[in-house]
Amino acid sequence: MKNVGIISVRTASTRLPDKCLFNFGEGNVLQHMIRRAKHFGFTPLVATTLLKEDDAIEKIADGEGCWLYRGEADDKLLRWLKACDYYGVDKFVTLDGDDLFFDPDYAYRGLSCLEAGEDFEPFDIIYPPFNAYIGSFSFALTRDIVERACEIKDSDKTEMMWHFIKKVPDVKSIHLCVEYGLPQRPFRLTLDYPEDYCLLNTVRRILGNLTKRDRIEDLFYANPNLRDVNWFRQKEMEKGQEVGGSGLF
């Protein structure tokens, strides 16, 4: 199966509980993510937990007619691995449940880098571009690198999964390059705080649910003060990740 996007999501976000159920246009946040993935040609695979509180996520996934896997609450890597094995997935992009305006072009480029080309060997994991807006792209990974990380991980709390993957011997990784639209002042379009929700809804009202990166970047070029709605939250997020914090996806 090609072009699989794993949407890691749960209701128990510590910063903004139930954010995947928030209204967003004609549906809720999770419905938006599923529909956006399908619109751009991805097969969405919703990966959530076995906790009772996440029954609501299963109901939404079933209603949208997409793949669903329920597994470990804290061990995201193992949840991914079991989801891949259940559906026969050998590589995927992560369409995190808080990246409401993920860019499909970055996602496709990430997937293509997981295959051997004329000038390079295949990579195991593709990281987002430097200086692209936060939330434009997460990661592209092979099923095998997830398995190798699971074999050596020393914790069952793997929310910040890249900390474990980078410890895999001889892991092959690369950052995507920004081809155009390099933001002079990077901005944040990911959902963790009330200010994020406000900004994301502003972008949606102006550009629509299915807008792409170039139009989003043009909007911020023309309205540089938009960035200030939530950029101060980015430093809080980075600090939390440094000390092992988690948004619980």
- Count of Cβ atoms closer than 10 Å to residue 154 Cβ: 6
4-182, what's its fold?
Spore Coat Polysaccharide Biosynthesis Protein SpsA; Chain A (3.90.550)
Give per-residue pLDDT as tens, 77-113: 999 999 999 999 999 999 988 899 999 999 999 999 8
CB 214 within 8 A of CB 180: yes
pLDDT in tens, 120-153: 788 999 998 887 889 998 899 999 999 999 999 9
| 8 A C-beta contact, residue 239 and residue 129 | no
Q: What is the pLDDT of residues 45-64, one digit of tens each?
A: 999 999 999 999 999 999 99
Nearest to 249 by CA among 77, 33, 124: 77
1-60 tens-digit pLDDT: 579 999 999 998 778 889 999 999 999 999 999 999 999 999 999 999 999 999 999 999
Task: Between 67 and 247, name the one with better pLDDT.
Answer: 67
Instruction: Decide: 58 and 70 in contact? Cβ < 8 Å.
Output: yes
Give the chain's mean pLDDT.
Answer: 89
Quote the longest CA-to-CA distance of the chain. 48
Q: What is the mean pLDDT of residues 204-225?
A: 94
Beta bridge partners of 91: 142
Q: Can you give the pLDDT at residue 117? A: 60
Alpha-carbon distance of 192 to 146, in angstroms, equals 25
Cross-strand pairs, 4: 43
Give exposure, 96-118, as e/b (b: 16+ Cβ within 10 Å). bbbbbbbbbbbbbbbbebbeeee
pLDDT at 70 over 70: yes
For residue 247, the model assigns a pLDDT of 40
Report which secondary-structure segment, H or E, holds 176. Answer: none
| Residue with the larger pLDDT of the pair 182 and 198 | 198
Q: Where are the domains of the chain?
A: 4-182
